[in-house]
Amino acid sequence: MPTFPFQQVDVFSSEPMRGNPLAVVVGADVLTDEQMQAFANWTNLSETTFLLKPTDPRAHYRTRIFTPKQELPFAGHPTLGSCHVWLSQTGQPPDGDIIQECGAGLVHIRRNGRQLAFAAPPLQRSGPVDPALVDRIARGLGVPIAEIKDANWLDNGPDWIGILLSSRADVLAIRPDYSALTGLRVGVVGRFDPETDGDDAAFEVRAFSNRGTEDPVTGSLNAGFAQWLIGSGMAPESYVAAQGTALGRAGRVHVQRDGDDIWIGGDVVTCIRGTVDL
């Protein structure tokens, strides 16, 4: 069995074990699709990534992103975590943007001090959600339909549906019924009240996956929310989103609009280094 360098990193937190974990296998070009999927299923993390040689000459590396059940063309925290691991393996990091090749195409990543940030890819689907589906989601979240202020498709690879509630308290009060949400990826966002919630973030986010689990901190969902909220004037061009509170995490996602791009960033820390036999 071949041996590969391996790291497990924590994304969107400066403190280990307070963000979203990611498993990363380095130099995985010889692995088959079946081997990658089997390992991702075994790690049982929200995503596992595999670093490979790029096929596009403009890219520095290529990554493949797997949940325990399927491959994704793009995901946010795997993008930042994979880049963090790639930088730890390369002797000559580039001066400018790092370019990742993935199923969704080329993704630009930049360094800002200790943080990494990716340019949010274009939404593949956006716009209003069918009222019947919103009603189903309301039942699944245990939220009266009148408390849902808006709903929008936020599909940037993962097919997220974004739900806007009035407040952070409303978001944290959700107790999901996953049987009613089967097959859906639902993200919920609500605004912080500075007087009761503090001022270290502007929004609270929760993400309910199509696997019947809650994701601790979600880059792709926050990218979609940023494009929706900033584009509609509901959020400033720079803000911080909190996520993972309901799971005992302390995720912080830094959002910044720069020209036509929206950058989604955060800290990444390495928790495990070693090798894996596959």
List of E strands, 39-131: 48-52, 61-66, 71-72, 98-102, 105-112, 115-119, 125-128
- Is residue 210 within 8 A of residue 178, CB to CB? The reply is no
Alpha-carbon distance values, 177 to 54, 85, 140, 277 (Å): 41, 36, 5, 38
Burial of 146 (0-12, 13-18, 19+ CB in 10 A): exposed
State how far the Cα of 163 lies from the Cα of 128, in Å rounded to an integer. 11
Q: At what angle do helices 76-89 and 219-231 cross, to 10 degrees?
A: 120
- For the question of residue 195 being annotated catalytic, the response is no
- Is residue 143 within 8 A of residue 170, CB to CB? The reply is yes
> Which residues does 32 contact at the CB level (< 8 Å), separation at least 6?
none
Show the CA angle centred on residue 74, arms to residues 30 and 179, nearest 5°.
110
- Is residue 265 within 8 A of residue 256, CB to CB? The reply is yes
Which residue in 47, 101, 204, 214 is the catalytic one?
Answer: 47
Q: Which residues are catalytic?
A: 47
